[in-house]
Amino acid sequence: MAEVYYVGVDVGTASVRAALVTREGVLKRTAEEHISIWEPQADHYVQSSTEIWEKCCSVVKNVTQGLNRNQVRGVGFDATCSLVVLDQTFQPVPVSQDGDRLKNVVMWMDHRAAEQAARITHTGHKVLSRVGGVMSPEMQPPKLLWLKENLKESCWNKAANFFDLPDFLSWKATGSLTRSLCTLVCKWTYCPPEGWDGSFWTSIGLEDILENNFSKIGSVTCSPGNPLGNGLTQEAAANLGLAPGTAVGASLIDAHAGGLGVIGADVKGFHLPCEDHPISTRMAMICGTSTCHMAISEQPLFVPGVWGPCLSAMVPGMWLNEGGQSATGRLIDHMVTGHTAYTQLQEQAQQRFPFAGENIYSYLNNHLSLMSPSHSAVDLLASSLHVWPDFHGNRSPLADSTLKGMFGTRHILEAMKEAGHDIRTLFLCGGLSKNPLYVQIHANATGLAVVLPDQMEAVLIGAAVLGACASQDYSTIQEAMENMAKVGTVVQPDCELQSFYERKYRVFLRLFAHQREYQAIMNQR
């Protein structure tokens, strides 16, 4: 019997990727295409949904070339939580002053709506309790409000369909307007089982969104991985090089797909603290340019400054809390490349690691090891150094975009534990998870074992899980995760460093208290 496959498609910030994945979760092929980003003015970042879909078709054709089309049983999409705007005939509507129709996507990192987000926060509406009490400019309501207030004639009056990018992709594939609960709950204030709260949209000046039972933003919803429509349409199948009717699962935001690709792995035999305990004792960390901290629970838990609880936003039937650090990989790159010795570092790294793809960070990790006294942990080099790296706003647990920086995973973990989470093991994926020092310090600082997946492209595995579930080859997302996500490496914390990190964390909390006092004084002036 011919082997069956699933295709996972991941639309990131700057590229589209696809993977051909087996029933056991093994990546057989991958392909990648660059996508354009335009910055028409400061804090405005836009893309083209037409180009994105074309690149999706290209990478899927690439990874399925030479296969019998019937061997591909299902397709799953994930993408950034960008906003796609289409008119009544589903044609692109411009989202910038220049009126270019093809540039119809307001990117997730577009902060043009910061003032609108602040106004929405000040309403104090009850729906804000599920986004940590603060509306982020990266969510969709403030972006919609900005379009209405600033591009009413050229965009708002012509727009008839607003999609989160993951939902746009599943619509292009199937023709189904059903939205994923992942996108609507996390980025649009939808709250199952009640649904949309019309009073919220009216209170922020977007009462026209209520028309035709909220048809512009989605009247019908389903959990991630549910089969959509009748599968691939004839047109989409031809464009993708697949068979019409191939199952397509309801989509996910890219970070949530990463969570799906690691958090449900079978851990039997690895002697982890989460073994023989519910999946709610695990936290997924998707570590890249920024970092997302995903924790799930059987009952809704409200964590101050942390998004959620969101029902069925990642694992159907489970509540999701999402913490985050606004700048991690990007902050490390900024600190390294902005240093006066960066040119010297490049030269020395190239000499020592001429063939290593990550030669700069391999060199730095090795250099830190040489700096450490014999048999001492690298962590101790910072015993007298306490950094408050305020660079790019705080996502969690303070939810304050005016603070410029990232806060520690330990801080987020403690906030979640205080709210009722029982997290015993960390599951990491993403680019930073490939740095062994970064991983080890996370284990040491939190005192928790860290699990790395055996397939490092966990986001693509998560997208493929959606296709596998939609094909009904697996009966649930949980079953698909357990069979397709695999444990690779386990990194244990250094127990001898526990008291060291306890002291560091107490210093951090004192710094935090002083900084908040200073900010309060400055705000009164």
In the predicted structure, residue 157 carries a pLDDT above the cut 80: yes
151 three-class SS: coil
pLDDT for res 135: 94
Supply the pLDDT for residue 2.
77
Average pLDDT over residues 237-246: 98
In this prediction, residue 405 carries a pLDDT of 36
Which range has the worst mean pLDDT, 286-300, 403-417, 461-475? Answer: 403-417
Give per-residue pLDDT as tens, 328-344: 776 777 788 888 888 88
pLDDT value at residue 471:
98
Confidence grade of residue 360 (pLDDT, cut at 50, 70, 90): confident
Residue 411 has pLDDT above 90, yes or no: no
pLDDT of 461 reads 97
What's residue 344's pLDDT?
86
pLDDT of 356 over the 80 cut: no
Q: CATH says 1-327+389-493 is which class? A: alpha beta
How does residue 454 score in pLDDT terms, banded at 50, 70 and 90?
A: very high
Domain chopping of the chain, boundaries: 1-327+389-493, 330-388
Q: What's the chain's average pLDDT?
A: 90
Kindly write down the DSSP assignment for every residue of 19-87, as one continuous string.
EEEETT--EEEEEEEE---EEEETTEEEE-HHHHHHHHHHHHHHHHTTS-GGGEEEEEEEE---EEEE-
Q: Return the pLDDT at 358.
A: 58
Please check the confidence at residue 403 and state whether its pLDDT lies above 50: no
Q: Can you state the angle between helices 359-371 and 436-446, rounded to 10 degrees?
A: 50
Contact 493, 424 (CB under 8 A): no
Pairing between β-strand 282-287 and β-strand 291-297 as defined by DSSP bridges: antiparallel
pLDDT one-digit tens code per residue, 39-98 = 999 999 999 999 999 999 999 999 999 999 999 999 999 999 999 999 999 999 999 999
Say whether pLDDT at 346 is over 80. yes
Determine the Cα–Cα distance for residues 371 and 366; give it in Å rounded to an integer: 9
- The confidence band for 518, taking pLDDT boundaries of 50, 70 and 90, is low
Q: 397: cis peptide before it, omega within 30°?
A: yes
Return the pLDDT at 394.
Answer: 52
Q: What is the pLDDT of residue 416?
A: 93
Q: Phi and psi dihedrals of 282, rounded to 5?
A: -115, 145
Q: Please give the average per-residue pLDDT across 439-465, as a whole number.
A: 94
Q: Average pLDDT in the 94-109 region?
A: 95
Q: What is the mean pLDDT of residues 437-458?
A: 92
